[in-house]
Amino acid sequence: DARVTQTPRHKVTEMGQEVTMRCQPILGHNTVFWYRQTMMQGLELLAYFRNRAPLDDSGMPKDRFSAEMPDATLATLKIQPSEPRDSAVYFCASGHSGRADNEQFFGPGTRLTVL
Amino acid sequence: DQQVKQNSPSLSVQEGRISILNCDYTNSMFDYFLWYKKYPAEGPTFLISISSIKDKNEDGRFTVFLNKSAKHLSLHIVPSQPGDSAVYFCAAFLLSGNTPLVFGKGTRLSVIA
């Protein structure tokens, strides 16, 4: 049963600390997306990759957020330094660019609380 | 500027009745529309999609209708069941350039037994 996995599931940290979230996309998928869910904005796209290359990260605050794909089985989202307003649920999703309907498969999310 | 809008943050429906979730969009070039369902503490899961060349797609209790002239789509759930209680997200994308999905803010559906 192929699924997207994310670690950690929950993270509580203090303002100013570095946070790293990890995602393992479904094997064979070539697109990876990072979303943030907040009450006000719903699901916001932060960044996405195709074939490990970053295509769009305009949704991310560049001064503190960074997203990378060191290899095809790992995507990371890093926040440094973290701030209370970063508290949200962060989702990773993967898909295949060859699919006409662009279906994305979501991981369970990382719930981040920055105190 | 929200390209995909779900203007109702919440909806309550009695079990057995029809649930209608609405979604409006501004970009007439969108090629595909999708509905995702999200339970608490889980990631969204794909529910149903429709191509812009169609006006209806049905899958069991779920039907999506697309009105291109009005830039409006709706998800009908008949009959509604308590297990359908979740947040429903409408999403859209352009085929050219493999653009990412653009999501609405979601509608929380509560099906009351």
- Does the distance separating the beta carbons of A102 and B51 come in below 8 Å? no
Q: Which chain A residues are Cβ-neighbours of B64 within 8 angstroms?
A: none
One-letter amino acid for residue A33 of the chain = F
Pick among 1.10.3720.10, 2.60.40.10, 3.40.710.10, 3.40.1160.10: CATH of B4-112: 2.60.40.10
- Does the distance separating the beta carbons of B32 and A100 come in below 8 Å? yes
- Domain range list for chain B: 4-112
CATH superfamily assigned to domain A5-99: Immunoglobulins (2.60.40.10)
Please give the structure tokens belonging to residue B24.
């409006």
Comparing A6-10, A69-73, A97-101, B35-39, the range with the smallest average pLDDT is A97-101
| Phi, psi at B51, each rounded to 5° | -80, 155
One-letter amino acid for residue A83 of the chain = E
Q: Does A96 touch chain B (CB under 8 A)?
A: no
What long-range pairs does B62-69 form, CB within 8 A, spacing at least 24?
B62/B35, B64/B33, B64/B35, B66/B33, B68/B28
**Predicted pLDDT at A100:** 67
- Distance (Å, whole) CA A48 – CA A52: 9
The percent of residues in chain A predicted with pLDDT above 90, rounded, is 74
CA distance B14 to chain A (A): 25
Q: Does B7 touch chain A (CB under 8 A)?
A: no
**Of the spans A26-40, A57-71, A94-108, B63-77, which averages the highest pLDDT?**
B63-77
Please give the structure tokens belonging to residue A56.
């769009």
Q: Does B105 touch chain A (CB under 8 A)?
A: yes
Q: How many residues in chain B?
A: 113
- Distance (Å, whole) CA A80 – CA B86: 33
Task: Please report, in tens digits, the pLDDT of each residue of chain B (113 residues total).
Answer: 679 999 999 999 999 999 999 999 999 999 899 999 999 989 999 999 999 999 999 999 999 999 999 999 999 999 999 999 999 999 998 876 557 888 999 999 999 99
Please give the structure tokens belonging to residue B85.
């209680």
| Residue A1: band (very low, low, confident or very high) from pLDDT cuts 50, 70, 90 | low
Among all chains, which residue has been given the structure tokens 């979303």?
A35
One-letter amino acid for residue A102 of the chain = N
- Does the distance separating the beta carbons of B105 and A93 come in below 8 Å? no
- Does the distance separating the beta carbons of A103 and B34 come in below 8 Å? yes
Mutation target vs A (from B49, B64, B101; most A CBs, 10 A cutoff): B101
A103: left (phi over 0), alpha (psi -120 to 50) or beta: beta
Mutation target vs B (from A46, A49, A60, A104; most B CBs, 10 A cutoff): A104
- Distance (Å, whole) CA A93 – CA A21: 13
Shortest CB distance from B43 goes to which of A41, A48, A108? A108
Q: How many residues in chain A?
A: 115
**Predicted pLDDT at B6:** 95
Q: Cβ neighbours of residue B60 under 8 Å, at least 6 residues apart?
A: none
Averaged pLDDT, A4-12: 96
Alpha helices (H) in B31-77, listed in sequence order: none
Number of A to B CB contacts under 8 A, please give it.
58
Please give the structure tokens belonging to residue A115.
């105190």
One-letter amino acid for residue A51 of the chain = N
Q: pLDDT digit string (tens) for A36-63?
A: 998 777 888 999 999 999 988 888 888 9
- Domain range list for chain A: 5-99
The percent of residues in chain A predicted with pLDDT above 70, rounded, is 97
Q: Which chain A residues are Cβ-neighbours of B102 within 8 angstroms?
A: 45
